[in-house]
């Protein structure tokens, strides 16, 4: 639950202090909370778009990758399960975890493809934030390994890609606990 995720609990506590200072939630306060959740969903959707455009570009070309990324992120944001996530206050942690995780994956892939190694540290920080916010962070290590194997430095031998993908998986697993 939310008690196991300190960032989710902190986020809801701050929202409570801001939108329900007396401790009683009104209709207007709940609407504001849902707008906050919608903002987090849109942030996650934009992170997904950036991640997919970058990861698909080597395979599809830049224009087709951007189109596929936009379509996928729109589907993600408009899907009925996403809408129900926005409505439920208890899902705040999962929204934070998705946004942080998707942006962390994007930064990781960018760092590996463009050799901007400072971004690896930033992606690690976002992975840790994701882990402290929601359960969805458990998917980050296999996603990191898959991105490392398929999209980063594709020209290397398969054995080298397996080794670096395994290393990336283990480091991400340590970060998300």
Q: Are 126 and 96 in contact (CB under 8 A)?
A: no
* This model's pTM is above 0.75: yes
**Rounded CA separation 150/148 (Å):** 6
**Which pLDDT score is estimated for 177?**
81
Buried b (16+ CB within 10 A) or exposed e, 121-158: ebbbebbbbbbbbbebbeebbebbbebbbebbeeeeee
pLDDT tens profile 36-80: 999 999 999 999 999 999 999 988 999 999 999 999 999 999 999
Give mean pLDDT, residues 101-128: 92
Burial of 173 (0-12, 13-18, 19+ CB in 10 A): middle
Give mean pLDDT, residues 4-12: 86
**Which pLDDT score is estimated for 1?**
59
Give mean pLDDT, residues 136-149: 92
Computed over every residue of the chain, the mean pLDDT equals 90
Q: Is the pLDDT of residue 127 over 70?
A: yes
């Amino acid at each position: 639950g939310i008690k196991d995720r300190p960032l989710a609990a902190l986020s809801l506590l701050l929202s409570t202090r801001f939108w329900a200072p007396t401790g009683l939630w009104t209709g207007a306060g709940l609407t504001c909370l849902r707008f906050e959740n919608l903002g987090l969903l849109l942030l996650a959707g934009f992170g997904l778009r950036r991640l997919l455009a970058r990861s698909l570009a080597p395979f599809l070309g830049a224009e087709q990758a951007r189109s596929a990324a936009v379509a996928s992120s729109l589907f993600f944001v408009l899907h009925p399960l996403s809408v129900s996530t926005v409505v439920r206050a208890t899902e705040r942690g999962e929204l934070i975890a998705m946004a942080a995780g998707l942006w962390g994956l994007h930064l990781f892939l960018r760092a590996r493809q463009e050799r901007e190694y400072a971004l690896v540290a930033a992606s690690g920080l976002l992975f840790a934030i994701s882990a402290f916010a929601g359960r969805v962070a458990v998917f980050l290590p296999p996603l990191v390994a898959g991105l490392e194997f398929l999209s980063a430095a594709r020209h290397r031998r398969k054995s080298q890609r397996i080794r670096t993908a395994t290393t990336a998986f283990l480091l991400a697993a340590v970060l998300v606990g």
